[in-house]
Amino acid sequence: MTQRKSPSESHHTASASALDTAELGAIMMSVLNRVQPLVSASLEKAGKALSHDPLDIRNAYIDFMKSLLANPEKMANLQLQYWQNWMAIWENVWKKYQGEPLEDIYKPETGDKRFKSAEWQNNLLFDFIKQSYLMTRQWMDQTIQNTPDMEDGQQDRLRFSARQFADALSPTNFVLTNPDVLRETIRTGGENLVRGFENLLSDMERGQGDLKISTTNYKAFEVGRNLATTPGSVVYQNDLIQLIQYTSTTDKVYARPLLIIPPWINKYYILDMRPENSFVKWLVDQGHTVFMVSWINPDKTYADRTFEDYMQGGILDALTFIEHRTGSTDTNVIGYCIGGTLLTMTLAWMKAQNQDHRIASATFLTTLIDFENAGDLKLFADNKAISFLDDAIQENGVLPGSYLSNTFSALRANDLIWSFVINNYLMGKEPFPFDLLYWNDDSTNMPGVLHLHYLRAMYRDNLLVKPGGMSLAGSALDVRTIDTPAFFLSTREDHIAPWKATYAGARLFSGPVDFTLAASGHIAGVVNPPTGKKYCFWESAHLPEDPKAWMKQAVEKPGSWWTYWQTWIEPFAGEKVEKREIMNAIEPAPGSYVRRQA
C-alpha cells in the first residue's frame, strides 16, 4: 500500500510562494505514472456500477417528473417561487451592501459546519453564493416532498438522492467558491492543490482504484497499544466469539456480573478506546465484573450463519461460561445497536423457553426493535436494494465491510465525506489523528445469509414487533412478553437508530422500562465519560405513546448518562463480594479476533 508523502519527502518541495516549471513537470510525470493503472481500474469498476441502481432512483425520478408534467400550473408556480427566492436573496445582499444590518434569509442548519468562515457572512459575494446554495437545496427538498402521486417510498428515495447531489455540489467543495481554499492557494502558490492531488492518488491506491478517503492518521493508532488497552484476558472462545474478562480494579465487586454484547457491524472496542473515554474501564472502576463479547470478523466460511447461530454461539454460550466461572445464576446484560436487537430476540426466546431468569436486567444502547420509522437506512432495504446486495454477496458469501462503512458515511456525507475532501484534497492537509474515525474505518464483514435476513425481516417487513413474526431455535418470538427490567439509552441526533424509533421499541416490553435520551449521536452520545463534562441527557420512566409527549415531560440533566445508569443498575448488581481473579486465560485482551481485518 502506498504511504502518503509528507511535504519534506515529496519531490515537489516548493518555495514559500510558487512552484517553478521544472518542479511542475517532474510532478506531472510522476502523477502520470501513478494515475494510469488507477484510471484503468476505476473505469472498469465504474462500467459495472453504471448498470446498477440499487435505490431505484431512475424510476423515482421518472414518476416525479410525470407528476410535475401532469400539473403544468404547479410546475410554473414552482419555477416562479424559485426565481422569487433568488430575487429576495439579491435584495437582501444589495441592502447589506448599502449598509443595512440584515439577517440572512437562508441560514445553515444547526450542526452544519461548512460555512463557519467569516467570509461567508462578511463578504457579499460569498454571502450570496451561500444563500443561493442553501435556498436551492431547500427548494429541491420541498419540491420533492410536496409532489403527490408517487409510489410508497419513492419520495424518500428521491429526497435522499437529492440531498446527496446537493451535498456534492456545495460551494465549499470547489476551489473558487471556498474562501478558505482560495486563501490557502494564494498563500502557498498552489502547493496545497499539488499536495492534495498526491493525497488523492494515495487514497485511490489505498482503495485499489476506488477512492478510499483517509479520515484519520492510521499510523497514530493500534489496537492493543493505545486503543482497547483496559487490562483483561480472553477466557473463552468458540468459532464465533472471544469472551474477554476484565481485571478488577476494586477489592470488592458486585456479586452479579455484567456482560456486554457489542454490534458485529463494527468492532467492540468502541466501548474501550483510550482510558479517558473507555466505558469498560469506567465500569470496572465502579466495581463491576465486566465480560465483553468480541465477534469474529467473518469470511466466506461464515456465509450461512444466522441470528440463531449468533444467539447460541454469542449470548447463550457467554452466559453459560459466566455462570460457571462466577457461580452467579444470573447476569446483567448490555446490548449495543444490533447487539441490542439480538439481545431482544434472545430475551423473547428465553421467555418462551422459561430461561429468562438468567438475565437480571437488560440495557439497550441505541437499539432498534420497531423498524417502522428506522430512518434513511430503510431506503437500502426494499426489494430492489436487497436484490442488488444479494448479487454482491454471492461472490464472497459475506457483505464486505467497506459497503457498510460507505453506507453509514453517506448518511452523514458532509461530516464523513466532503469535510475530508476539502481538508485532504483542496487544503492539502493530512487528516487529524482521531480515535473514533480510526475505529470507524476498521470495518467488519457481515455473514450474507444473516444480513439479508436482517434487511428483509426487520427493515423491510418489521417482523420483530409482530407476535410470532420471527422464530429462533424452534420458538416463536413475542417481544411483548419480555418483562425483564430494561434501560433504554438513545441519542437525539442518531442517524442510524433514530430515537423516536427506538422509543417505539422500548414501549413494547411488558416489564419496567427506563427510557433515557442523550445528546449528540450514535457514537458520541454513548461514549460520553463523566470527566468530559459534555452534552446532557433527558430521563423519564413514564412512556406515553407519543415520543414528543415524552420529550415534553422528560427532565433534562447535565453531564453524562453513565452516572445515571449506574444509579439505575445498582439494585440489580447485588451485594459486594471479593473481586474475582481471572483464571485459565487463553490470551491477553484485546485478543486476536478483533485484529482480524475485513
| pLDDT tens readout for residues 515-530 | 999 999 999 999 999 9
Looking at the structure of the chain, the number of domains it has is: 2
- Taking only the tens place, the pLDDT of each residue in 46-72 is 444 444 667 778 888 888 888 888 888
Helix (H) and strand (E) counts in the chain: 21, 17
**Mean pLDDT in residue range 214-223:** 94
φ/ψ of residue 235, rounded to 5? -110, -10
Is residue 259 domain-shared with residue 349, that is, in the same domain? yes
More confident residue, 263 or 42: 263
- Verdict on whether the full-model pTM lies above 0.85: yes
Q: What is the pLDDT of residue 382?
A: 84
Q: Catalytic residue at 536?
A: no
Q: Is residue 133 part of a domain?
A: yes
Is residue 358 domain-shared with residue 465, that is, in the same domain? yes
Three-state secondary structure call for residue 333: strand
Categorize the per-residue pLDDT at 432 as very low, low, confident or very high, splitting at 50, 70 and 90.
Answer: very high
With cell 485478543, the residue in question is 591
| Number of C-beta neighbours around residue 495 at 10 A | 15
Q: Is residue 418 part of a domain?
A: no
Q: Residue 242 above 70 pLDDT?
A: yes
What integer best gives the mean pLDDT of the chain? Answer: 90
Q: Is residue 168 part of a domain?
A: yes
Is residue 142 domain-shared with residue 257, that is, in the same domain? no
Nine-digit cell string for 383: 426489494
Last residue of a domain, one of 131, 156, 173: 173
Quick one: how far is CA 295 from the chain centroid?
18
Categorize the per-residue pLDDT at 575 as very low, low, confident or very high, splitting at 50, 70 and 90.
Answer: very high
Q: What is the pLDDT of residue 6?
A: 42
Residue pair 598/400 in contact by the 8 Å Cβ criterion? yes
Q: What is the pLDDT of residue 5?
A: 44
Looking at the DSSP bridge assignments, the partners of residue 588 are 233
Q: What is the pLDDT of residue 24?
A: 53
Q: What is the pLDDT of residue 43?
A: 47
Q: Is residue 401 part of a domain?
A: no
Q: What is the pLDDT of residue 2?
A: 41
Q: What is the pLDDT of residue 214?
A: 93
**Is the bond preceding residue 590 a cis peptide, omega within 30 degrees?**
yes
Last residue of a domain, one of 158, 173, 188: 173
Is residue 259 domain-shared with residue 156, that is, in the same domain? no
Residue 548 sits in a domain whose CATH number is: 3.40.50.1820
Kindly tell me the burial class for residue 563, based on how many C-beta atoms sit within 10 Å of its own C-beta (0-12, 13-18, 19 or more).
middle
Q: Is residue 181 part of a domain?
A: no
Q: Is residue 393 part of a domain?
A: no
Element (H, E) at 372: none
The boundaries of the domain holding residue 540 are 232-380+443-595
**Mean pLDDT in residue range 217-234:** 96
Q: Is residue 405 part of a domain?
A: no
- Taking only the tens place, the pLDDT of each residue in 288-330 is 999 999 999 999 999 999 999 999 999 999 999 999 999 999 9
Categorize the per-residue pLDDT at 39 as very low, low, confident or very high, splitting at 50, 70 and 90.
Answer: low
Q: What is the pLDDT of residue 147?
A: 83
Q: What is the pLDDT of residue 23?
A: 59
Cα 562 to Cα 439: distance, rounded to the nearest angstrom: 21
Q: Percent of the chain beyond pLDDT 90? A: 72
Strands (E), 428-519: 446-447, 471-472, 475-476, 486-491, 513-518
Kindly tell me the burial class for residue 354, based on how many C-beta atoms sit within 10 Å of its own C-beta (0-12, 13-18, 19 or more).
exposed
Categorize the per-residue pLDDT at 371 as very low, low, confident or very high, splitting at 50, 70 and 90.
Answer: very high
Is residue 484 domain-shared with residue 361, that is, in the same domain? yes
Cα 137 to Cα 169: distance, rounded to the nearest angstrom: 10
Residue type, 89: I
Q: Residue 1 above 60 pLDDT?
A: no
- Looking at 223, 271, 311, 337, which residue is catalytic? 337
Strands 486-491 and 290-295: unpaired
Q: Is residue 183 part of a domain?
A: no
Is residue 515 domain-shared with residue 370, that is, in the same domain? yes
Q: What is the pLDDT of residue 487?
A: 98
Cα 79 to Cα 437: distance, rounded to the nearest angstrom: 42
Cα 596 to Cα 598: distance, rounded to the nearest angstrom: 7
| Number of C-beta neighbours around residue 73 at 10 A | 7
Is residue 137 domain-shared with residue 286, that is, in the same domain? no
Task: Report which of 181, 112, 231 is spatially closest to residue 427, judged by C-alpha positions.
Answer: 181
Is residue 470 domain-shared with residue 349, that is, in the same domain? yes
Task: Report which of 204, 205, 206, 178 is spatially closest to residue 192, judged by C-alpha positions.
Answer: 178
Is residue 148 domain-shared with residue 253, that is, in the same domain? no
Nine-digit cell string for 376: 434513511
- Taking only the tens place, the pLDDT of each residue in 459-473 is 999 999 999 999 999
Q: What is the pLDDT of residue 263?
A: 97
Is residue 491 domain-shared with residue 355, that is, in the same domain? yes
| Number of C-beta neighbours around residue 150 at 10 A | 17
Q: What is the pLDDT of residue 47?
A: 45
Is residue 261 domain-shared with residue 145, that is, in the same domain? no
Is residue 162 domain-shared with residue 256, that is, in the same domain? no
Strands (E), 217-300: 232-237, 241-246, 252-254, 258-261, 290-295
Last residue of a domain, one of 104, 139, 173: 173
Q: Residue 7 above 60 pLDDT?
A: no
Q: Residue 167 above 80 pLDDT?
A: yes
